[in-house]
């Protein structure tokens, strides 16, 4: 089974399985196609994290491929430009937005290197065969889907640059995404990207080296140098992924595995360790007591993330304490006693991410979240792909866990997660959605485990989030519930969307076979082979 946010990508994953590939082949083929047909959500110049479970090969690992800040980065280079912090806590607003759009917003990309390592180490198909479907979509074009177009028109949110301005930032972007009269392409139009097809052919022939040390690297370096970018050829050549064991906890007798910092798995584990001390089912799903309890767990985990979690190579993350049962019990006692967390924000992350879950016939599984962050808007002429804009989430104030430093990986909420029952794979889950990812994944787990919801029901159930002192709710949370929360002193922010706070995708391994769910808030799809 393959589950992802783009039907074209799901089909590529399914074809990889039909052609004799395994879950790794399918996930990588899916990621490549997603980078073509959802080109602001993800791409070869992006970042991410994946969890691989290959029991026959005794492999259970996470590969972290967050972008690293270029060597030219300085801790105080933007300190004088700070205007504020986004309310959700996943980004900073600077005068002139140099961290958000343009050449200085780009971190050293990790996606392509990780996909190549995953596929050549653990896949079965030829590398070129895995890349080929994406080349076809770039060459022949794809119909612009509603989710792609609606992001283009989202406008300027939380102090960020307008997305249409991003698309038009470079001459290449104006050629790809606009008509000759400068009007934006629309839903249903066929969008071809022959430059990206040519780049992907080069990668299919030469692997990731062409991007990090070869011809493509040289073209990237020249473009950055000519336009004041921080990224250099040395940054590309020195980039390394990080392979780790998964982070682990138990919840209601099940084993939960997720990713290590600087990913968001630490937040999932902390929240589950807090919530295991409450009888959530007895409270009732999305009741006032339930929203209060889970929101406070979200707030405490967010406050701990803000204070302590960053790149472990730069920050002494107190991981053993944050994910311990003892600390979970301590925070649960605070919540039970009525103590409320406070999540400080200066003032006023993009949901621009995607996800794929795959389980194959042999029980191999991959869950991978990959992204451009808030895309930089930069496309090097002739290469066709947009670069990430991940510098925007680093803290421009020196001396903090998320502060700028050369070679540092940013925190992100990415948390590809698996659940095991009695040592056997039970559930594979993950989501795009910026700072809301850990919140969406955790609620799906609670829905499935505490409330025994089938996987589709667990994914589509109304969600909420609290990454600040407010509780954000989707429009399907009843007003009778939010009125009582407000009467209890909470600031409640109602979103207009029925489906909000991450886009959760999952595969449930049942005794009757595989069951999957793609979040209806995206254009996603489930296919079984």
Active site residues: 353
> Residue 319: is the preceding peptide bond cis (ω within 30°)?
no
| C-alpha–C-alpha distance, residues 481 and 478, integer Å | 5
User: Would you say 120 and 128 are in contact if contact means Cβ atoms under 8 Å apart?
Assistant: no
How would you class 517 by CB atoms within 10 Å of its CB: exposed for 0-12, middle for 13-18, buried for 19 or more?
buried
| Beta bridge mates, 189 | none
Give the H or E element holding residue 493: strand 491-494
Give the H or E element holding residue 193: none
| C-alpha–C-alpha distance, residues 398 and 404, integer Å | 7
How would you class 305 by CB atoms within 10 Å of its CB: exposed for 0-12, middle for 13-18, buried for 19 or more?
buried
Q: What does the chain come to in residues?
A: 529
The sign of the dihedral angle between the CA atoms of 329, 332, 333, 334 is: positive
- Quick check: helix, strand or coil at residue 41? coil
Q: Helices 127-140 and 23-37, interaxial angle, to 10°?
A: 20
| C-alpha–C-alpha distance, residues 467 and 475, integer Å | 18
E strand spans, 119-225: 142-143, 190-191
- CB atoms under 10 Å from CB of 348, counted, come to 11
| C-alpha–C-alpha distance, residues 379 and 159, integer Å | 23
Say which DSSP state 182 is in. Answer: S
How would you class 337 by CB atoms within 10 Å of its CB: exposed for 0-12, middle for 13-18, buried for 19 or more?
exposed
Torsion angles phi and psi, residue 324, rounded to 5: -80, 150
Torsion angles phi and psi, residue 425, rounded to 5: -60, 130
User: Would you say 465 and 298 are in contact if contact means Cβ atoms under 8 Å apart?
Assistant: yes
| C-alpha–C-alpha distance, residues 302 and 322, integer Å | 11
Q: Helices 265-275 and 288-308, interaxial angle, to 10°?
A: 140
- CB atoms under 10 Å from CB of 173, counted, come to 18
| C-alpha–C-alpha distance, residues 482 and 464, integer Å | 11
User: Would you say 315 and 407 are in contact if contact means Cβ atoms under 8 Å apart?
Assistant: no
What does each C-alpha distance from 29 to 25, 110, 119, 121, 181 come to in angstroms?
Answer: 6, 16, 9, 15, 35
Pairing of strands 470-473, 491-494: parallel
- CB atoms under 10 Å from CB of 198, counted, come to 16
- Quick check: helix, strand or coil at residue 515? strand
């Amino acid at each position: 089974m393959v589950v992802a946010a783009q039907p074209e990508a799901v089909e590529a994953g399914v074809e990889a399985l039909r052609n004799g590939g395994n879950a790794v082949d399918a996930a990588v083929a899916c990621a490549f196609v997603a980078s073509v047909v959802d080109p602001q959500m993800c791409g070869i110049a992006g970042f991410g994290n994946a969890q691989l479970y290959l029991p026959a090969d005794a492999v259970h690992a996470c590969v972290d491929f967050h972008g690293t800040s270029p060597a030219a980065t300085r801790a105080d280079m933007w300190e004088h430009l700070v205007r504020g912090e986004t309310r959700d806590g996943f980004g900073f607003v600077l005068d002139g937005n140099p961290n958000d759009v343009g050449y200085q917003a780009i971190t050293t990309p990790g996606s392509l290197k990780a996909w190549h390592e995953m596929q050549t180490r653990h896949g079965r198909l030829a590398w070129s065969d895995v890349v080929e479907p994406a080349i076809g979509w770039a060459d022949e074009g794809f119909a612009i889907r509603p989710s792609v177009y609606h992001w283009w028109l989202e406008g300027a949110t939380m102090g960020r640059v307008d997305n249409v301005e991003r698309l038009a930032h470079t001459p290449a972007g104006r050629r790809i995404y606009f008509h000759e009269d400068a009007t934006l392409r629309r839903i249903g139009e066929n969008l071809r990207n022959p430059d990206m097809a040519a780049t992907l052919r080069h990668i299919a022939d030469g692997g990731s080296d062409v991007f990090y040390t070869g011809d493509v690297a040289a073209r990237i370096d020249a473009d950055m140098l000519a336009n004041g970018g921080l990224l250099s050829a040395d940054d590309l050549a020195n980039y390394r992924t990080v392979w780790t064991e998964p982070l682990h906890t138990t919840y209601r007798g099940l084993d939960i595995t997720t990713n290590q910092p600087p990913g968001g798995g630490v937040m999932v584990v902390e929240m589950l360790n807090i919530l295991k001390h409450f009888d959530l089912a007895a409270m009732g799903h999305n009741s006032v007591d339930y929203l209060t309890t889970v929101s406070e767990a979200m707030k405490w985990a967010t406050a701990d993330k803000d204070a302590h979690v960053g790149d472990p190579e730069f920050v002494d993350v107190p991981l053993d304490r944050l994910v311990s049962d003892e600390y979970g019990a301590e925070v649960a006692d605070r919540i039970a006693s009525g103590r409320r967390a406070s999540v400080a924000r200066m003032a006023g992350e993009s949901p621009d991410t995607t996800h794929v879950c795959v389980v194959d016939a042999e029980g191999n599984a991959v869950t991978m979240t990959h992204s451009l962050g808030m895309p930089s808007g930069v496309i090097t002429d002739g290469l066709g792909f947009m670069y990430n804009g991940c510098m925007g989430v680093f803290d421009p104030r020196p001396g903090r866990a998320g502060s700028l430093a050369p070679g540092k990986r940013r925190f992100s909420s990415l948390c590809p997660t698996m659940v095991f029952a009695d040592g056997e794979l039970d559930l594979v889950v993950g989501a795009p959605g910026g700072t809301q990812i850990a919140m969406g994944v955790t609620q799906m787990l609670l829905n499935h485990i505490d409330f025994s919801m089938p996987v589709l029901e667990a994914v589509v159930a109304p969600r909420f989030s609290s990454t600040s002192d407010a509780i954000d709710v989707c429009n399907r949370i009843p007003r009778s519930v939010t009125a009582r929360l407000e009467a209890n002193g909470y600031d409640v922010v109602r979103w207009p969307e029925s489906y909000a706070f991450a886009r959760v995708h999952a595969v449930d391994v049942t005794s009757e076979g595989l069951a999957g769910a793609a979040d209806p808030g995206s254009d996603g799809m489930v296919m079984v082979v």
